[in-house]
Copies of this chain bind each other. A is one copy, B any other.
Amino acid sequence: MYSFTEENYIKAIYKLQEKSGISVNTNAIAEIMQTKAASVTDMIKKLSEKKLLSYAKYKGVELTETGRKMALEMIRKHRLWETFLYDKLNFSWDEVHDIAEQLEHIKSTKLIDCLDEFLGFPENDPHGDPIPGKNGLIQRIELYKVSELGIGEFGVISGVVNHSSLFLQHLEKNQLVLGKGIEIVSKSDFDQSLRIKIEGGIPIMISNEVARNVLLKKSR
């Protein structure tokens, strides 16, 4: 059985590996874990001894197969709990993360499967992120940043890059929520802000910052 801290480290490393490709460095882990580089070195030595990652001094770390499986289990639990909080308990999508961060550590071989069934085997969490299956497989579809679309193109909001509370609240306030269709009307050459038309709403302006953090499934 692994400690909460061990599980959190493995999850953080998995996320960094997803972004950067292969190897993950000490400072990057320290930043996500909100701790000091020395603490990271201490912990990754232990995790290496437990065969969850492979590590050589000054060479960064990579999760082992065991580590990756553990990470995917954590992500599955996290996203299923977020879905429960959102769908069943009416939490808003910017409130669910911190609670799911705690719930994901519950040790029970059966609980998360029962929750999965209870929720109707959802494929995505409230932010549009894919929920890994019991077998650890993630079903991904190709998503595009709003900033990557051209004038006249359409898409359906299906994810967010930035999960911060403030950002999610900003999106909700502007009706930029999962499932909404949008069309790119025009783009400013000056600051790359966009004028977009939201399905069921009036055209609005969004900054380039927002455009780079909202993900779409392309449509027509």
State the A residues within 8 Å of B (CB). Answer: 85, 88-91, 95, 98-99, 102-103, 105-108, 110-111, 114-115, 118
Contact = CB atoms under 8 A, between A and B. Distances in A.
Identical copies of this chain, number: 2
A110 B99 CA distance: 10
A158 B10 CA distance: 45
Given A89-B118, A102-B106, A103-B106, 15 more contacts: A85-B111, A88-B118, A89-B111, A89-B114, A89-B115, A90-B114, A91-B110, A91-B114, A95-B110, A98-B108, A99-B106, A99-B108, A99-B111, A102-B107, A103-B103
A99 B115 CA distance: 13
A85 B107 CA distance: 14
A99 B98 CA distance: 20
Nearest to A113: B89
Interchain residue pairs A-B with the least CB separation, the first 8: A89-B114, A102-B106, A99-B108, A89-B118, A99-B111, A88-B118, A103-B106, A102-B107
A110 B96 CA distance: 11
Contacts of A118: 88-89
Contacts of A115: 89
12 contacts: A88-B118, A89-B111, A89-B114, A89-B118, A91-B110, A91-B114, A95-B110, A99-B108, A102-B105, A102-B106, A102-B107, A102-B108
